[in-house]
Structure formats: structure tokens, C-alpha cells
Amino acid sequence: MVSRVIPVDPFDLVIFGGTGDLARRKILPGLYRRYCAGQMPEEARIIGAARTEMDAAGYREMVAEAIEEFGGKDACDNLDAFLAKLDYVAIDARGETGWAELQDLMSGKDRIEVYYFSVAPGLFGDLAERLQQWGMAGEECRIVVEKPFGRDLESARALNATLATYFKEQQIYRIDHYLGKETVQNLMAVRFGNMLFEPLWNRQYVDHIQITVAETVGVGGRGEYYDKSGAMRDMVQNHLMQLLCLIAMEPPARFDPDAVRDEKLKVIRAIDPVLPHHLVRGQYEAEEGNEEDAPSYRDAVGNPRSRTESFVALKAHISNWRWHGTPFYLRTGKRMVARSSEITVVFKDTPHSIFAEDAGRHRNVLSIRLQPNEGITLGVTIKEPGPGGMRLVDVPLDMTFAEALGPDGGDQVDAYERLIMDVIRGNQTLFMRDDEVEAAWAWTDPIIQGWEARHDVPKPYDSGSAGPTDATEMMRRDGREWRKVSP
């Protein structure tokens, strides 16, 4: 199946932090791939703006290296033409350096203007203020802001208020790259484009839902930042919460940004506070025999007394008619046994089995994999083939996109590429609105405050495991099991 590429309108994209890790690893290689796919008009310009002193030629060289290193090089054979679209301004978000030059570059052009804030959140306010001061914060421009969006409700509100001083909500694109994944959007297509699932999508037919985001990496070079954050702030408040919303929300009346975001917001507001015994925190230990390369969490962050969690598992309830009594189990952690992000909808048993006891009893399980091998699998119970009486067995109806959609469908567009193109198209559906972010923090804050008040110490877990045994126990108490974390 050949994917359709619709070129976007001419644009200027300024990447503040254009020399940073995120720009080099994701944004710039992603833009090159969009260029190769024919989505970028000839007039498009990309302007790196960062603190490092360099000229446009130096920036092009840096970007060529980034594309070589982080993928995209083989997307087409037109790197020089892409590099010709690049420019660079050495700028100081907090000072005056570079702003006149940037203003000069941006003036007199009648095209879409996007300012990507790929810098530390402490600079968002400075950038917004400077853009206005230098006459670049026009009503038509758009800004993209990276995570983390606050570290609690108070700071998120303050950040929203600062941005609202200079920009309307319709101009602000808060990025959560999980929402740019093909499968996440397919979740909406599967739910709202088929008659098959929606009638079953409720407390009457669904036993429980699991959302797992497991990473094999540790904190790496982000130790200092991560230790002040932890898995609850870094993963649950944003990524897992967004996935939960898409799974649990009511069908929006239209597939438009505010209709979708209104429904997501209702879900967040309906999630009950989480009880302490429905929460498990963990911290990974060093990998046995490999302590140097895979140190313990505390060694990795250089804080031997750290009480920050690198793992969270929790049981949440949504208080509304659709989901009352159906638990949602969320789990995320670092240094786990495999890298895997998956949403699983476990349906209830059939009300009555007509088959003999020894035929076995099975449940339908819908599994939505975000990574690796994006795709959707539905476990269906059938008769085990062959003679020997009626025995039941589960077979997967598998829709791995790479296989189902052929070479073009398999060549998945990276989440960042898709989201940047959405910004240029002016489509906010896959970006978080101010009230969504605040509602998510309002739910998260008491959990973190509870841990702090109780001086809670995370449970240690082995590197390469599925997390602390307490998480397994929490499920077992409910007569359920976590899905195996497998690649």
C-alpha cells in the first residue's frame, strides 16, 4: 500500500536549541526524511538557533553528520538540496545576541512561521518574551514546546500563564511524541472506524486494561535531571496518561482537535485518586557482573540515598458509566527485560462455556503494540485443529503494520516527523491542550506528595527483570497477571 504524501504549505521553521541532542537525533533527520518523501515545498526554510557560535556552513555540516549518524541518510540522494534550506543564527534566549539577525531573516516573508522550543523548559518564557519584543510573535505564528511541561500543577499553570501572555492557545503545540506514533492514531481508527469493537468497549465486556511502557535503558546521561523527576513525572503524567485517555475516551463528535481533546480531558478528570496500596515504586539494581556498564540507579544518578523511582506500577479507576469497576493497570520502568510499549484490552470470559472443562477456557485479548513492531493483534479462540475432540486454542489475528501494509506502510514515519508536519498544517489534534496538562498534574501531584509525606523508599528490582515483585503481587491479589514484557 503506497502512503499518500500531501505537501505542506511553504514554511519557516526556527529550531531554538537547533544544535541540541533532540534536534540532532530526531528533529533534523526527521525533516530530511519528510523532504525526501516530497512533503516539503521548495520554499521551506529551516533555521537553527542556539547558543553555539557557528555560521550557516558549520551548521549544515553538523546537520549532515547528524543525518548520517541518526538515520535518514538513505531516505534519498538529495542531501545537498536539503542542506541548502538550512540557515543558522547564534542566539541567546536570555540576552540580546542574535535577535536582530533572526528578525531580519524572518521579516517580509509571507509564509507559515513555526518556532520550535527545543531547549530547557526554563527558557520557554524567555523565548516567548523575546519573540514578542522583536515583533516575531504574530497571531499567525505557531510555537512548539517540548516536555517536560512543568513538574507539578503549580509550575505547569505558571508556564501556561506565561505562554498565554504572548500566544493564543491555538498557537501553542505541546508535543508528546507518543501521540505521533502510527499505532496511537490507529487506535482511534480501530475504535471509531469499525462497528466491531465499540459495543464491547466498556465495563460489561472488558475485564481490565493494561498499559506498559518498558525500557531497557537506564537513566544514561540524564541522571541529574531524572533524579529530580522520576518515572511518575517523566512517563506516567504525560505518555501513559495520554494513552489511557485514547483508550478510555468517549467517541468525539468529530475528528477535530478540540472535540478529541474535550473527550480526553473528561477521562483525566474522571480518574479517581490512586490508593497507596494500588501503587508500586521501584528502583533498579546494578546488572550482576556488569556493574561498571550497567550500574544501579543510585550509582547512575550519583545519589546513594536517592528515593526517586525508575519504575511505577499502579491501578487506576475511572469513575464514569462506561468504566466503573474496570481497572486500568499502568506500568513503566527503566532497565527492564525488554523494550516494549503495549496497551492490552483483556475481555471478560464468556458468560457460560458449552465446552467440557478440559477444552480449556480462553479470553479475547486485544493487544496494541507501540514499539517495537507497531501493530495490533486480536487473540481469538478457535478449535485446536485435528482430531482429538474439542479443545480450544488462542490464535492471533495479527495486523503488524510492516507486514500488513507492505514496504511503504512498513516504512513507518517517525512520530516527530508526523507531529512537525501537523504543526505546519495547523492541526492540534495530537498535541496537549493547557487544561489537559493541568488536569494530568492535578491527578499526579497527590500521588507524589503522598510518597514524599510517607518518605516512601522505592523497592529494588533486578536490571533485566519485569520490575519489583510487589508489582506482580498487586496483580495477583486481583486474580490477574501482567502481560509478559517481551520484545
Alpha helices in 351-414 (DSSP H): 401-404, 406-410
Q: Which stretch binds ligand NAD (CB under 6 A): 58-66, 90-98, 287-295, 434-442?
A: 90-98
CB of 257 to ligand NAD, least distance (A): 22
How many residues bind ligand NAD (CB under 6 A)? The answer is 23
Pick the closer one to ligand NAD by CB: 18 or 468.
18
Any contact of residue 92 with ligand NAD (CB under 6 A)? yes
Tell me the one-letter amino acid at 141.
C
Take residue 46 and report the three cell numbers written for it.
529551516
Q: Are 17 and 118 in contact (CB under 8 A)?
A: yes
CB of 52 to ligand NAD, least distance (A): 5
Q: Are 375 and 397 in contact (CB under 8 A)?
A: no
Q: b vs e for 157-174, b when ≥16 Cβ sit within 10 Å of the residue's Cβ? A: bebbeebeebbeeebbbb
Q: Are 177 and 416 in contact (CB under 8 A)?
A: yes
CB of 18 to ligand NAD, least distance (A): 6
Using CB under 6 A, pick the residue from 12, 19, 179, 232 that binds ligand NAD: 19
DSSP tag of 336:
B
Residue 168's nearest CA partner among 207, 128, 195 is 128
Pick the closer one to ligand NAD by CB: 228 or 324.
228
CB of 49 to ligand NAD, least distance (A): 7
Take residue 80 and report the three cell numbers written for it.
545537498
Q: Which stretch binds ligand NAD (CB under 6 A): 61-69, 85-93, 273-281, 310-318?
A: 85-93
Q: Which stretch binds ligand NAD (CB under 6 A): 44-52, 242-250, 261-269, 468-476?
A: 44-52
Q: Are 179 and 418 in contact (CB under 8 A)?
A: no
- Rounded to the nearest angstrom, the gap between the alpha carbon of residue 346 and the centroid of all alpha carbons in its chain is 23
Range 232-271, binding ligand NAD (CB under 6 A): none
Pick the closer one to ligand NAD by CB: 102 or 337.
102
Pick the closer one to ligand NAD by CB: 95 or 446.
95
Can you point out the beta strands (E) in 328-422?
A: 328-333, 340-347, 365-371, 375-383, 392-400
Bond from prior residue into 41 cis (ω within 30 degrees of 0): no
Any contact of residue 100 with ligand NAD (CB under 6 A)? no
Range 113-172, binding ligand NAD (CB under 6 A): 118-121, 123, 146-148
- Per-residue binder mask for ligand NAD (CB under 6 A), 315-344, x = binder: ------------------------------
Rounded to the nearest 5 degrees, what angle is found at the Cα of 471, between the Cα atoms of 363 and 339? 75
Any contact of residue 28 with ligand NAD (CB under 6 A)? no
Nearest-CB residue for ligand NAD: 20
Report the C-alpha gap between 377 and 398 in whole angstroms.
4
Of these residues, 208, 239, 278, 317, which one is catalytic?
239
Does 239 participate in catalysis according to the annotation? yes
CB of 148 to ligand NAD, least distance (A): 6
Pick the closer one to ligand NAD by CB: 13 or 190.
13
CB of 25 to ligand NAD, least distance (A): 6
Q: Which stretch binds ligand NAD (CB under 6 A): 45-53, 61-69, 80-88, 250-258?
A: 45-53
Pick the closer one to ligand NAD by CB: 123 or 402.
123
CA dist 254 → 260, 345, 428, 429, 436 (Å): 7, 24, 14, 11, 18
CB of 147 to ligand NAD, least distance (A): 5
Rounded to the nearest 5 degrees, what angle is found at the Cα of 29, between the Cα atoms of 24 and 34? 145
Using CB under 6 A, pick the residue from 8, 86, 89, 93 that binds ligand NAD: 93
CA dist 206 → 129, 183, 247, 323, 343 (Å): 49, 21, 12, 9, 13
Positions annotated as catalytic residues are: 239
Query: Using CB under 6 A as the criterion, which residues of the chain lie in contact with ligand NAD when the complex forms?
Result: 16-23, 50-52, 91-94, 118-121, 123, 146-148
